[in-house]
Amino acid sequence: MSFELIGGLSIPAERYTQALLDTLAMVSVSAGIALVAGIPLAVLLIVTAPGGFLASPRINRAVGSVVNGFRATPFIVLLVALIPFTRLVAGTTIGVWAAIVPLAISATPFFARIAEVSLREVDPGLIEAAQALGCKKWDIVRHVYLPEALPGIIGGFTITLVALISSSAMAGAVGAGGLGDLAIRYGYQRFDTQVMLIVIAVLIALVTVVQTTGDWLVRRLRNR
């Protein structure tokens, strides 16, 4: 089976399928890393902030500066700047696994800031009540902060996933594979509009599925 393209060219459907699978692999693995690393980072920013139960302005400023530095760097610049580190970690600078390194590093501080906002919105009265009951500090994090902020964290993770889909397509410009690579090599470089349109349609569908699922989970959690 193949997609008939303008100018008599054709691309096998398997190539589109493989590109989609590569994109899903990049997004899912890097999102998992961002989730695992981003939540502790957000908790650290909250508890070390002024008024937090482990208030430490120096630590908070230092961590915040690092987070802000990575967030302020455009992904395509970060992608190139991390090439030596990517080669050290992944053993290569091209392909799906090489793209996961900068994607995860870019997504983690982005998600951490969103999670931090959700944690900051937890009712201070709940924190004070837990402290009055003699709860340990990390029990407050586990049983008050995280459960109360969970809808906002899920919403923020959904936004992070959408951003990762966009970034993974951008990573195709430097040989990362996936839908972005397909669009550039077979669409842009061959001046084939139909390939570009197919890739754009697939990306829109992917983002729609992610956003719809995330919104549904947030509504379900809030209704509880």
pLDDT in tens, 139-160: 888 888 888 889 999 999 999 9
User: pLDDT, tens digit, for every residue of 85-130?
Assistant: 888 888 777 778 888 888 999 999 999 999 999 998 888 888 888 8
For residue 205, the enclosing domain spans 2-223
**Mean pLDDT in residue range 63-78:** 88
Closest-CA residue to 44 (of 12, 21, 16, 66): 66
User: pLDDT, tens digit, for every residue of 120-136?
Assistant: 888 888 888 887 887 78
Per-residue model confidence (pLDDT) at position 128: 80
Question: How many alpha carbons lie under 13 Å from residue 57 in its C-beta half-sphere?
Answer: 1
Cα–Cα distances (Å) from 129 to 37, 121, 136, 161, 166, in that order, read 28, 16, 12, 35, 42
* b/e code 68-91 from CB counts within 10 Å (16+ = b): eeeeebebeebbeebeeebeeebe
| Structure-block tokens of residue 124 | 């201070």
Q: What is the CATH number of the domain that holds 27?
A: 1.10.3720.10
For the chain, how many structural domains are there in total? 1
Closest-CA residue to 144 (of 155, 158, 159, 133): 133
Sign of the C-alpha dihedral computed for residues 27, 32, 35 and 37 taken in this order: negative
Q: Tell me how far apart the 2 most distant CA atoms of the chain are, in Å.
A: 74
Per-residue model confidence (pLDDT) at position 215: 92
User: pLDDT, tens digit, for every residue of 158-188?
Assistant: 999 999 998 888 777 666 777 777 777 776 6
Per-residue model confidence (pLDDT) at position 173: 67
| pTM to 2 decimal places | 0.85
